[in-house]
Structure 1
Amino acid sequence: MQLNTLDYILIIGFFSIVLLIGIIVSKTSGKNTSEFFLSGRTMPWWLLGLSMVATTFSTDTPNLVTDIVRTNGVSGNWVWWAFLITGLLTVFVYAKLWRKSNVNTDLEFYELRYGGAPARFLRKFRAVYLGVIFNVITMSAVTLAAIKIGSIMLGLEPWQTVISAGLITVTFSALGGFKGVVYTDFLLFFVAMGGAIGAAYYLVNLPEVGGIGAIMANENVAGKLSILPDFSNREALITLFIIPLAVQWWSSWYPGAEPGGGGYIAQRMLAAKNENHAIGATFFFNIMHYALRPWPWILVALASLVVYPDVASIHEAFPNVASDKLGHDLAYSAMLTKLPNGLLGLVLASLVAAYMSTISTQLNWGSSYIVYDFYKQQINPNASEKRLVAVGRLSTVALMVFSATLALLLQNALQLFEVLLVFGAGTGLIFILRWFWWRINAWSEITAMFASGIISILLKLTPLGPWLFDASEGLLPSWTEYPFVVVVTTVIWLAATFMTQPESKEVLRDFYKKIQPGGPGWSSVIREAEKDNQEIAKKDEKWSVPAGIWAMLLGCVLIYTCMFATGFWIYGDYIQAGVLTVVALVSGYSLSRVWLKLKDNIL
């Protein structure tokens, strides 16, 4: 594969624009921490929504989807499609609550909802646990994908990819802060989407692929086209469909799909102009993320099965790729090598855009934890704004170095995705309920966090896991591993909740008065406050959660039918596509009616 002058112009021009944006906004971003991490809380819904989409469009996402499709078929994507339920629950229930909290990071929430030493410990521990450990692992997966793309498409050594891609990203991230991230995300979104769609169209129509009809008729592809899993295959049905929809979406903490909102999604909601813009941004993100974006990647993955039916054929075509980096996820990069000049430059620029968008967001988000929730709280409470911004920039560089180092040791993205899912299993229910049930306390979260982590480590890194869940010799079916972690973790944190003291009256009443979450879970707190002549509940504010859940269900129907209708239009199954399109229109109209009842003016 050879890049020509046009390709280099596209790539260098893109890099130049991104760095220019970082330099232009660096002065205002460096004024104070509110500007550096939240852009002064002035962002509109559409810009934040595009930023969320661009952030989750990372270099490892096409590789992950390709790995899933080649291994488990199109229906294997339910492992992440199920997170739409989480996303829409955030839209219609939690977005306004986060914006009302007015915290600087979602970890600051701990000292708003809980009190005393346990709350302080939870905040600083999660700052290190999420801001450094989890964040570094996530960024390393993205960097691993960049390494594989560089190896396949440009013949680069891993260290060359890490230095060239990482240096530019960390420079503009440290200069521009959150505002630089969001502004460049606007550009990155269109470049990334244009590259993905252009690549899919060209690669599906390659002579050796033969178009969508030939793909569907190919024996390597025929068994992998179904959007729903094979209902006669009990294990596949349970692992790929039932567990994600019944358990996974509410029980697991996963970056970008946190139950109840959190992480960099919460950071963008907190940066919104107001509650309405926070809601609009998250809904726009979920539509784009699930309904419009997966199919270009899925089509390339299906086409790759025609050209490279197994890992051995990929290795044969690219013998210089290190054996510890071989996997089905390489097929996406392998297909991209067949692009013509011009489109090749655009796609490479789009992959760079995807990498930079995700890494810059992770860097700024992780740095915000280090600055607000660790450094300012534990090391230097009296630090000036100038000092805090400097610490933010320094921690941005440190996070990049750590993640790049780890990326050189990893093999594939799906492996890491599965580990992260299990590692957070069982904690998600707390993040959903803590807003609406007064009895949950800091010890509930501390216990759940450690229980889930310890159980996951025992199952993944000791003989206990194979003894219990080995596919052929284990005591339990392999598909029970995830529900097992969820059940055990939930039992442990519920026991800890009732064995420890509840939060103080003052903490609970202050939280309710500020947030107004509503619901029966707070009725005892409200009654006790009234006995003490304290009015903490606004009488004119109705509980919006039932309507929010109804809106969530309609939103799921709307977005899933849009996604699947798109697939059937592509497959040429026009009857099913037409029926689903009508269902999407009806559900969209119904959702608009419910949404208007929730808020007279959302946007």
Structure 2
Amino acid sequence: MPDFNLALIDMVIVVAYIVGVLILGFWIGKRHKGAEDYFLAGRSLTWPLIGFSLFASNISSNTLIGLTGSGYADGAGFSVFSYEWMAIVVLIIFAVFFLPFYLRNRIFTIPEYLERRYDYNARAYASFIAIVLNVFVDISATLYAGGIVIQLIFPGIPLWMVITGLAVIAGIYTITGGLSAVVITDAIQAVILIIGSIIITWFAWEQSGGLSEVMAVTDPSHFDIIKPASDEELPWPGLITGVFLLGFYFWGTNQYITQRALASKTTQEGQWGAMFAGFLKLLILFIMIMPGAFARVLYPEITEVDTVYPTMMFDLLPIGILGLVLAGLIAAMMSSIDSGLNSVSTLITMDFYQKLHPDKNQAELMGIGRWITATVMIIAVLWAPQIQHFEKLWDYLQYVLSWFSPPIIALFVVGLFWKRANERGALWCAIVGALLTLFAIIFNTSEQLIDFLYMTGIHFGVCVLAHVIGSYTAPPPSNEVVENTVWQISGFKKETQELKELAWYKNYRYQGAGLVLIVITIILYFNVWI
């Protein structure tokens, strides 16, 4: 096993990266004049920045280490890639149906759409759920997992100190620079992360002998991306009832991710950005999961799969390159933390504070947003270390999203595609969904992972039914509400005509179709041809 020590040059590279990110945040922060600049980057983002930022925000350090560990360990194996290819499908649906309405209504937050569609109660409900999940699951989980990883390298530093350091660094440039700083640093961090992952994949492939050597010591089922219905880890029906719905919440209705799409310069830029993010998701199989498979040949004695990625870093990489890859690992932590901080600040400021103080101008809202970001950072720092004392709670938090998100998904899906949906139906959906969530928290445990995947679909179905029944107990919404917030085939046909004026490679629908074909080819290769 390698010695987890850094040479001076590697330390210099890591420190230079951190200092550079902080300087960038301060520089961008000086250009902001109001809330739209701070929270939505002046609605000026182009597709490369959107795509890189979407990708980086999704890949945290625990995700990266977990994906590599899955590629190594028996059990889920390559089926973990199902979360990635399903995300591509969701991004396509998001770009076709949802994003145009979000941008047309010029909203600051995703829950704000629900107010336009129903009423403020629906907006407040969705926003509150998003805030709780972002603070106590997304940000805190990333801080805790990141702290554990850093402790592998620097075991003498206390966990609370590592967590505080990560939060403060990400918090400083997020507080000063807002979404512009988050997106630009995310783009830089995504490039570093991808380059670092490619480097470590190359070294692992070269020294292991390649995929043929892995196959010689591995059961072929380990490479199956789609598992049979009897699989204990991820049965294929669970992809539909669980993974798809959870992916839709994460990529289509969660401020944590979608905020950079709301900041698109145009609808077209946002759609291209979503397709670009989908393309980057394809790389995950080859540069994050596959290295874990190579490690099966290189390190057959490893029992703790979370140490696979750090082991490869310190054992395979030469001095200098190690610093770059470690910077990429830290970048993965930072991009998730900064996205969480910025999204929560936006939700609290625009969905709650502005409602209580409608007289505040754009500059004042930006100032409040900065104070809220700092407060959220402190709360996450205080909560994150406590997770280690509650192992069952920590396990449970991994699946809590599947219990809180179904009613939110139902509000968006029914609202966008059914013009008869109204605020009464939204209220019934929220009440029934909250009761089912409470039931799940009380009577279920984290060991029931398969039940969580299936129950997500059941939970969603019940919420949709409650929404429909409730909507029929009250008058339909006005034509004005329907026209601005409900999808109609006429709008789709209009967009089709507009897209005909573009070169085929600029048509995001063709781009999406190309991504689907690549996904199908990958699944067939690993499920049928290997």
Using the alignment, how far apart are the partners of 2:262 and 2:215 within structure 1? 45
TM-score by length of structure 2 reads 0.85
CA contact (8 A) 1:56 1:256 kept: no
Contact 2:275 / 2:512 at 8 angstroms: preserved in 1? no
Q: Which amino acid aligns with 1:43?
A: L
> What residue in structure 2 maps to residue 524 of structure 1?
none
Instruction: Measure the CA separation in 2 of the matches of 1:492 and 1:241.
Output: 27
* Native 8 Å contact 1:88 1:555 kept in 2: no
Alignment equivalent of 2:17, drawn from 9, 14, 20: 14
Query: d(CA) in 2 for partners of 1:127 and 1:429?
Result: 15
How far off its partner does 1:377 sit?
A: 0.4
Which structure is higher in helix share?
2
Counterpart of 1:491 in structure 2: which amino acid? L
CA distance in 2, matches of 1:566, 1:251: 22
| Whole-angstrom CA distance in 1 between matches of 2:493 and 2:366 | 39
8 Å contact kept, 1:458–1:465: no
**Aligned length in residues:** 512
CA separation of 1:198 and 1:443: change in aligned 2, threshold 3 A: farther
1:416, 1:179 → 2: CA distance? 30
Partner of 2:343: 365
**Cross-structure match for 1:24:** 27
Q: Does 1:45 align with 2:47?
A: yes
Q: SS in structure 2 opposite 1:502?
A: coil
Using the alignment, how far apart are the partners of 1:89 and 1:500 within structure 2? Answer: 30
Alpha-carbon contact 2:246-2:405 (below 8 Å) kept: yes
Correspondent of 1:4 among 2, 7, 17: 7
* Deviates most, 410-419 or 186-195: 410-419
**Measured at CA, do residues 301 and 421 of structure 1 come closer, stay the same or move farther in structure 2, by a change above 3 Å?**
farther
Alpha-carbon deviation of 1:72?
Answer: 1.0
Which amino acid letter does the alignment assign opposite residue 415 of structure 2? R
Partner of 1:528 in structure 2? none
Q: Is the 8 A contact 1:136 1:403 kept in 2?
A: yes
Matched, 1:344 2:328: no
Give 1:484 shift.
3.2
Distance change >3 Å, CA 310–CA 224, structure 1 → 2: farther
Identity of paired residues, percent?
Answer: 21
Secondary structure at the residue paired with 1:82? Answer: helix
Counterpart check, 1:243 vs 2:238: yes
Look up the match of 2:353.
Answer: 375
Write the distance in 1 (CA, Å) between the matches of 2:396 and 2:201. 25
Which residue is equivalent to 2:79?
Answer: 75
Question: Matched residues in 2 for 1:9 and 1:127: separation?
Answer: 41
Alignment correspondent of 2:487: 517
Matches within 5 A, 1:184-333: 184-206=185-207, 209-219=208-218, 222-229=220-227, 231=228, 234-236=229-231, 239-244=234-239, 246-248=240-242, 251-252=245-246, 256-258=250-252, 261-289=253-281, 291-306=282-297, 313-314=303-304, 328-333=305-310
SS at match of 2:358: coil
Distance verdict in 2 for CA 1:252–1:165, change over 3 Å: closer
In structure 2, give the amino acid aligned to 1:483.
G
Structure 1 residues without counterparts, runs of 5 or longer:
315-327, 472-476, 520-536, 578-603
Cα deviation per residue 1:150-180 (whole Å; 9 max; x = unaligned)? 1222224321210221111100100011111
In structure 2, distance between residues paired with 1:298 and 1:107 = 34
Per the alignment, residue 455 of structure 1 pairs with: 436
How far the C-alpha of 1:340 sits from its partner, in A, is 3.3
Aligned partners of 1:134 and 1:451: how far apart in 2? 22
2:41–2:263 CA contact under 8 A, matched in 1: yes
State how 1:535-546 maps to structure 2 within 5 Å.
542=494
1:382–1:438: structure 2 CA closer, same or farther, 3 Å change rule? same
Inter-partner Cα distance in structure 2 for 1:198 and 1:470? 34
Ranges in structure 2 where 5+ consecutive residues have no aligned partner = 501-506
2:472 is the alignment partner of 1:498: yes
Q: CA separation of 1:414/1:56 partners in 2, compared to 1, >3 Å: closer, same or farther?
A: farther
Q: Secondary structure, in 3 states, of the residue corresponding to 1:425?
A: helix
2:112 paired with 1:108: yes
Tell me which residue corresponds to 1:410. Answer: 387
* Distance in 2 separating the partners of 1:463 and 1:46: 42
* Code of the aligned partner of 1:113: R
Contact 1:252 1:426 in 2 (8 A): no
d(CA) in 2 for partners of 1:430, 1:99: 18
Assess if the C-alpha contact under 8 Å between 1:55 and 1:361 holds in 2. yes
430, 435, 456: which one aligns with 1:482: 456
Quick one: distance in 1 between partners of 2:289 and 2:330?
A: 20
Q: Is the 8 A contact 1:440 1:497 kept in 2?
A: yes
Equivalent residue of 2:400, what SS? Answer: helix
| 567 and 489 in structure 1: CA distance in 2 versus 1, 3 angstrom threshold | closer
Could you say which residue in structure 2 is the equivalent of 1:142? 142
- Structure 2 vs 1, CA of residues 347 and 565 (structure 1 numbering), >3 Å: closer, same or farther? farther
The amino acid that maps onto 2:412 is F
SS at match of 1:439: coil
Query: Which whole-Å CA distance do the structure 2 matches of 1:414 and 1:490 have between them?
Result: 28
Partner of 1:121: 121
1:33 offset after TM fit, Å? Answer: 0.2
What one-letter code is carried by the residue in structure 2 that aligns with 1:187?
Answer: I
Question: 1:539-554 residue pairs with structure 2 within 5 A?
Answer: 542=494
8 Å CA contact 1:448–1:493 kept in 2: the answer is: yes
TM-score, with structure 1 as normaliser? 0.76
> How many angstroms apart in 1 are the aligned matches of 2:70 and 2:437?
22
The amino acid that maps onto 2:19 is S
Question: Which residue identity does 1:288 align to in structure 2?
Answer: L
Structure 1 CA distance for aligned equivalents of residues 163 and 349 of structure 2 = 25
Contact 2:11 2:323 in 1 (8 A): yes
Q: Which has the larger radius of gyration?
A: 1
Report how far residue 552 of structure 1 moved. 9.2
Highest RCO, 1 vs 2 (Cα 8 Å, sep ≥ 6): 2
Q: Which residue of structure 2 lines up, in the alignment, with residue 396 of structure 1?
A: 373
Distance of 2:348 and 2:407 partners within structure 1: 25
